């Protein structure tokens, strides 16, 4: 029960966000009725999925590594892939997420140009999406150029996903944005 203590506050936060959101049904603006918005959202979902799965594999890597160092390898841990395989799978999913974030940003820029006549307007969500893309680029650079393996990239992927989640969910709480569902 104590191992799940981090889940309850997060669930409570998301329930609170849902309760506080406006129940009003609004007509979509004509700028939202475009093919590029669908492409943008599709790649956003792929990006977040790849990044979250990669980070989950990094967390498993850290968890299993800790248990192996403590000598507490149970049947559950022995069924997990080796630390090297977990590390490589995390890298592959994060590389996929990085590519998808890049395509998401490009598709969003094309959509923004069609909708508002500008490819980039420094909207907070645009900016933080670019920042998260840079974070994942740094992760890949450290792995490829400097040969980072093991716990260092695993911990860095946790930082990267926190930046990415802030870009998705946290921005609307602090900044007015065209992406924010909290703005009327």
For 146-162, the pLDDT digits (tens) are 999 999 999 999 999 99
What is the distance between the alpha carbons of residues 151 and 61, in angstroms, rounded to a whole number?
8
Evaluate whether residue 182 is within a structural domain.
Answer: no
CA distances from 167 to 44, 125, 126, 135 (A): 11, 6, 8, 12
- Are the C-beta atoms of 148 and 142 separated by less than 8 Å? yes
Could you report the per-residue pLDDT of 61-99, keeping only the tens digit for each?
A: 999 999 889 888 788 888 889 999 999 999 999 999 999
Please give the angle made by the CA atoms of 59, 41 and 50, to the nearest 5 degrees.
20
Distance in angstroms (rounded) separating the CA atoms of residues 134 and 96: 14
Overall pTM surpassing 0.75 (yes/no): yes
In a domain, 121, yes or no: yes
Classify residue 27: in a domain, yes or no: no
Domain limits for position 64: 35-174
Q: What is the DSSP string of 23-68?
A: ----PPPGGG-SHHHHHHHHHHHHHHHHHHHHHHHHHHHHHHHHHH
In a domain, 139, yes or no: yes
How many structural domains are present in the chain? 1
Average pLDDT, the chain: 87
- The answer to whether 107 and 39 have CB atoms below 8 angstroms apart is yes
So what's the pLDDT on residue 3?
Answer: 56
pLDDT at position 182, please? 39
The answer to whether residue 87 sits within a structural domain is: yes
Q: Report yes or no on 5 lying in a domain.
A: no
User: Smallest Cα–Cα separation from 139: which of 168, 83, 101, 170?
Assistant: 101
């Amino acid at each position: 029960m104590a191992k799940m203590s981090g889940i309850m506050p997060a669930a409570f936060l998301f329930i609170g966000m849902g309760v506080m959101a406006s129940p009003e049904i609004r007509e979509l603006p004509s700028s939202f009725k475009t093919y590029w918005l669908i492409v943008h959202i599709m790649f956003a979902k792929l990006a977040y999925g790849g990044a979250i799965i990669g980070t989950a594999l990094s967390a498993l890597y850290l968890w299993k590594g800790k248990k192996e160092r403590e000598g507490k390898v149970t049947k559950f841990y022995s069924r997990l892939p080796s630390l090297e395989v977990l590390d490589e799978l995390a890298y592959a999913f994060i590389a996929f997420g990085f590519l998808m974030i890049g395509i998401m940003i490009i598709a969003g820029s094309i959509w923004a140009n069609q909708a508002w006549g500008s490819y980039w307007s420094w909207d907070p969500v645009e900016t933080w999406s670019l920042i998260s893309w840079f974070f994942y680029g740094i992760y890949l650079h450290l792995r490829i150029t400097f040969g980072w393996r093991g716990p260092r990239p695993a911990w860095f992927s946790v930082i990267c996903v926190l930046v990415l989640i802030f870009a998705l969910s946290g921005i609307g709480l602090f900044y007015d944005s065209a992406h924010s569902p909290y703005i009327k």
